């Protein structure tokens, strides 16, 4: 599972390339020495958030299968997992709001400020008894790789992953290559979050 997540994260970064914009963000990283962790370069490669509202057309409390009608009129049947509490309160005609967020960010650190490896973190919350059904969950996977080679002619960086695999990435902003060196460590963090809320049917 961890190897698949690492491959997915590395693959997404390779496909998108290093972005030019900088930002600050929270990440989960492997333990390192007490060296300063100010990144040499950082940025967000991609960020996306989608919110949609659907109407409950039917619900099977036994199988926890819920059929929803989206804004475009199309029907979709989904399974309400155990994280969706108080499902018995959901009725036909209730409105369900789903928000999905994902981002891919990176930070470059000098040797001693990070360690190669893969770290995953997850968090979740559900409705309290008596409240309308709701669920929210988030997970982040951080892959820390080492810069194995820098090609300023072709504006590429080759990363050596924790498992020894090499991945070559096209850099969007070539000027950032002047700030990094072979041996620096790149932390790539893929974050996704899903929130589900149910509102009472409008009278």
Rounded distance between C-alpha atoms, residue 65 and residue 88, angstroms: 12
Prediction pTM value: 0.60
Asked, for residue 70, whether it belongs to a domain, the answer is: no
pLDDT at residue 80 is higher than 80: no
3-state secondary structure of 178: helix
Asked, for residue 27, whether it belongs to a domain, the answer is: yes
Buried b (16+ CB within 10 A) or exposed e, 10-39: beebeeebbbeeeeeeebebeeeeeeeeeb
Question: How many domains, in total, are found in the chain?
Answer: 1
Asked, for residue 157, whether it belongs to a domain, the answer is: yes
Asked, for residue 163, whether it belongs to a domain, the answer is: yes
Q: Give the helix/strand (H/E) hosting 5.
A: helix 2-16
pLDDT, one tens digit per residue, over 83-129 is 677 778 888 998 888 777 888 888 999 999 999 999 988 777 777 77
Question: Do residues 96 and 54 touch, judged by C-beta distance below 8 A?
Answer: yes
137/4: higher pLDDT: 137
21/80: higher pLDDT: 80
Asked, for residue 77, whether it belongs to a domain, the answer is: no
Asked, for residue 85, whether it belongs to a domain, the answer is: no
152/33: higher pLDDT: 152
Range of the domain at 165: 2-50+103-128+136-199
Cα maximum dimension of the chain: 65
Ordered DSSP codes for 186-197:
EEEEEEEEEEEE
Asked, for residue 181, whether it belongs to a domain, the answer is: yes
> Tokens 């190897």 label which residue?
3
Asked, for residue 161, whether it belongs to a domain, the answer is: yes
């Amino acid at each position: 599972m961890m190897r698949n997540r690492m491959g997915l994260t590395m693959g997404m970064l390779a496909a998108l390339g290093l972005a030019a914009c900088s930002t600050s963000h929270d990440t989960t990283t492997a333990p390192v020495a007490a060296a300063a962790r100010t990144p040499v370069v950082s940025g967000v490669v991609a960020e996306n958030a989608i919110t949609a509202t659907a109407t409950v057309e039917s619900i099977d409390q036994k199988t926890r299968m819920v059929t929803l009608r989206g804004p475009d009129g199309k029907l979709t049947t989904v399974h309400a997992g155990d994280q969706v509490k108080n499902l018995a309160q959901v009725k036909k005609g209730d409105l369900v709001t789903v928000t999905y967020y994902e981002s891919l960010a990176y930070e470059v650190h000098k040797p001693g400020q990070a360690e190669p490896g893969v770290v995953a973190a997850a968090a979740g919350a559900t409705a309290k008894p008596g409240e309308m059904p709701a669920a929210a969950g988030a997970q982040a996977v951080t892959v820390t790789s080492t810069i194995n080679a820098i090609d300023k002619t072709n504006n590429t960086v080759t990363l050596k992953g924790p498992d020894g695999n090499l991945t070559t990435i096209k850099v969007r902003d070539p000027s950032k290559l002047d700030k990094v060196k072979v041996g620096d460590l790149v932390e790539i963090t893929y974050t996704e979050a899903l929130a589900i809320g149910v509102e009472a049917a409008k009278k």
